[in-house]
Structure 1
């Protein structure tokens, strides 16, 4: 096929897809239709000056609170189009089903979902992979092994916009939508010696769980004959360097997957409804994972001040930071395991919690005492003990059972308070609503 024939074929295929102006109009229409749960904003501009428009979907868009943030990014490569279309369909589905569908409501009420349908609008218009400067944007990020992208002044404007976006918003997790295969890929994307080999990151087990969550929810991804279970380690598939996925995890505390959502990079537009139907539950479940799995909570000082503590897991060489304003943390972890969680910050005594994580999320708050205090003031659960043989783990209960137990606990506590209020008049009463443990 000659270049002219190829370009003519792409132009014919493009007739069924949104142009850049169509996409911008569709995003504005979505925002106008759903103003109570959305906002539209720009994270920067492309080489040719096209705004990189993003949408936020939340019950409190634009407001900072203790909820986690998740981002979807589409059209990283200009010739991979499906993500643009699916992300608009996802936004409109959430708007249509908010307060009607339980998962839609959980996501809107519990997550700040940010959607960037097109990271590379210039190359979409040019019908090619790289941006207007012929740079592959998924090779333009600083790399952990090789230093070809260390000079930030030389980064492409689309790359700089992404880096600034990740600095502005503390994303818990994210996913980029690509095309050309049907698989969920996870870090690391490269190896130290550039060989094609399995090279897992410190959270390899958690990433395999997240990738499998997407794959199993997909209509046929998990049945792949090329990729067992429909998932792959990036470096084992084919090593890349300067990729966005590894940068997210290393520098932003953000767990990112690379999702190849269609075998064809540019399928006929008539196939889009089917591709959307095959990916819809996977997209929803991966967003919901930030609040429905792992461990989350808040960190306070003993006098009630939120602390931006570091949250570490014994045996996993990776830490995340709690939020500065609310002290909130969301730590994604694979279910069915025992974890020793450590909260620490200079000037305070660190504390540990031993958690047996079930299928649902574990909620554990930490109260840290100043190093100047002589004794621990709290620590009613576990007393700063880790997962040693003498400590008791906090067994995370399913949500409904947890709520029942908490209600029963509150009722019994209230009766005891009435009976002993005179004897305990001078004692401080502490209530911890909807928390599995406070350490």
Structure 2
């Protein structure tokens, strides 16, 4: 077949990935000269694909040829004329074709081009074609490999699909009608975007910071509310946290898209958004780990690999960096003669965690302090690299590698996870391909975190056991750092899920717990649901929120110095919390004296005191460490000058 007659193209055309990593390319579009096994077939030759847990299974981590010679190849059928501009791979030689029969070698001047591939298992290597060419098929043809190894590679291919018009212009489907800033934002650009949103919607937005990263980058939060900067009595607080792993960049961009979208739609009078803003105080943290993100961003979306930027500047995985309260609770239950007396909520962090010697990232310390300051009710932790929603517990008992480990609120957590997964356009697609080696569709794209893999010290578990906030993890995409061209489509995939999940903060019961005599709110009153072994507490003004599925509940409330109270509360199926207020009567001093005279004990909230004391210690040690770090940074800057 003759080559296409085309006008000349610029040498460095900026074409995006065709989609091996993002799964835009289907398995049937990939072929190979030979394969070592079915689990090492051409469909596994995708950039950053991860292997299964068992050697020799159907889900290995690359394409591998069965024959060791220079005639082996991995081939892509792009299905349409495409301007190929480069490859990211572990192999070397690239050739192309328009009909998969007649092949033309990639040239470097008068010689066939041979590109340097990867020298290790993980580092992606970019090879730009010196002469970008239009074709439908492209082959990657490895020319050398380690003598003790096999021909194996994972790849991505850069190319612009050509439109069917006389000029053969490059066109890319936008994927959405929303006019948002679809690109990857580094730290400086993120700050500009936050300011732009705040300038456009000053009446409903506020920018604040909760701390700094190890290198001094601020952890910015965008608050969205009809009364920004103020907790309104009875109004629940919601948060999205993205970028815990800095290289999982999609969550960061979705959070930035979300704040723009809410601003635009609020101004347009979209009643769903207006209601959400008026009834909810929303907090959006786009970058938990800005140091990690900057490292990944500098390399680029396809070249950062699977792990670069995942960890903090100090090499800490923040997903394991929170206090492990699960085992503290479980150990106490095993030792207790009466398990009902073991606390199931507001568990204090351990003493060692509050010291300056504890290996706790400054970012983690900032998040914990933030959790303490604001009475969050619901949250989601946005990750990437898979397509699944996980719910607590994330940690197994007895250090088992994986085992279903449910919370007392398992049914509601499953509901939360299903709300996001069932409304996500990719997760809900029954024909989608699995990302790596686990088929989460058999679980309807939700799974107990510990049943996937155990994660001691996760933010989800800490949030549930140390605060009132319920939190799930959303794995947003197979590709941790999708190309900017994919962002409009990813926004559409997740837009409804992001909004619908936020609306779940209005389920269950809510109310205000007051002193019957003074009518003032009672802080830290315990709210107990009969037959549910997880309590929550009232906020500083006495208001509380208890997420619950539809049903009838017996609710018991008590606070130190007051008689307990009980009432029946009914929860409907609509996302509108049932009002369930309480007025508590103070325990008379005469009654206290009688109890003590008979040898009885007055119920003391010692756990609350311990929790507050440990939090104060953590904040003191954080200030000390921050001062040390700032001094080190100043000295380092002075030396560079």
- TM-score of the superposition, structure 2-length normalised? 0.55
What's the secondary structure of 1:318's corresponding residue? Answer: coil
What's the secondary structure of 1:54's corresponding residue? Answer: strand
Cα distance, 1:189 vs. partner?
0.3
In the alignment, the residues of structure 1 paired with residue 526 and residue 471 of structure 2 have an alpha-carbon distance, to the nearest angstrom, of 20
Cα distance, 1:76 vs. partner?
0.7
Match of 1:204 in 2: 410
What's the secondary structure of 1:247's corresponding residue? Answer: helix
In the alignment, the residues of structure 1 paired with residue 317 and residue 450 of structure 2 have an alpha-carbon distance, to the nearest angstrom, of 18
In the alignment, the residues of structure 2 paired with residue 305 and residue 52 of structure 1 have an alpha-carbon distance, to the nearest angstrom, of 35
What's the secondary structure of 1:324's corresponding residue? Answer: coil
What's the secondary structure of 2:398's corresponding residue? Answer: coil
Judge conservation of contact 1:138–1:243 (CA < 8 Å) in 2. yes
User: Can you list the C-alpha shifts for 1:237-276, whole angstroms capped at 9, x where unaligned?
Assistant: 1111111110111101110111111121112221111111
Cα distance, 1:105 vs. partner?
1.2
- Would you say 1:313 and 2:529 are equivalent positions? yes
Runs (4 or more) in structure 1 with deviation over 6 Å come to none
For structure 2, the residue ranges without an aligned partner over 5 or more in a row are 1-89, 91-117, 128-155, 160-181, 297-307, 329-348, 431-438, 591-641
Match of 1:342 in 2: 556
Spell out the pairing of 1:265-414 with structure 2 (5 A cutoff). Answer: 265-291=480-506, 293-303=507-517, 304-308=519-523, 309-325=525-541, 327-335=542-550, 337-360=551-574, 361-372=577-588
Match of 1:55 in 2: 222
Cα distance, 1:373 vs. partner?
11
Judge conservation of contact 1:314–1:342 (CA < 8 Å) in 2. yes
2:188 corresponds, among 9, 12, 21, to: 21
In the alignment, the residues of structure 2 paired with residue 305 and residue 238 of structure 1 have an alpha-carbon distance, to the nearest angstrom, of 46
Cα distance, 1:206 vs. partner?
1.2
Spell out the pairing of 1:34-433 with structure 2 (5 A cutoff). Answer: 34-66=201-233, 67-98=235-266, 100-127=269-296, 128=308, 129-145=310-326, 150-152=352-354, 153=356, 154=358, 155-195=360-400, 196-223=402-429, 225-227=439-441, 228-291=443-506, 293-303=507-517, 304-308=519-523, 309-325=525-541, 327-335=542-550, 337-360=551-574, 361-372=577-588
Judge conservation of contact 2:231–2:281 (CA < 8 Å) in 1. no
Of stretches 52-61 and 214-223 in structure 1, the one that deviates more from structure 2 is 214-223
In the alignment, the residues of structure 2 paired with residue 193 and residue 17 of structure 1 have an alpha-carbon distance, to the nearest angstrom, of 41
Cα distance, 1:353 vs. partner?
2.0
| Root-mean-square deviation over aligned CA pairs | 2.4
Match of 1:392 in 2: none
Larger radius of gyration: 2
What's the secondary structure of 1:212's corresponding residue? Answer: helix
In the alignment, the residues of structure 1 paired with residue 327 and residue 565 of structure 2 have an alpha-carbon distance, to the nearest angstrom, of 37
- Would you say 1:6 and 2:124 are equivalent positions? yes
Match of 2:37 in 1: none
- TM-score of the superposition, structure 1-length normalised? 0.79
Judge conservation of contact 2:242–2:287 (CA < 8 Å) in 1. yes
Judge conservation of contact 2:183–2:487 (CA < 8 Å) in 1. no
Of stretches 358-367 and 176-185 in structure 1, the one that deviates more from structure 2 is 358-367
In the alignment, the residues of structure 2 paired with residue 136 and residue 5 of structure 1 have an alpha-carbon distance, to the nearest angstrom, of 20
In the alignment, the residues of structure 1 paired with residue 508 and residue 537 of structure 2 have an alpha-carbon distance, to the nearest angstrom, of 15
What's the secondary structure of 1:108's corresponding residue? Answer: helix
Cα distance, 1:302 vs. partner?
1.8
User: Can you list the C-alpha shifts for 1:314-365, whole angstroms capped at 9, x where unaligned?
Assistant: 111111111222x111110122x22111121122222222233221221111
| Count of paired positions | 369
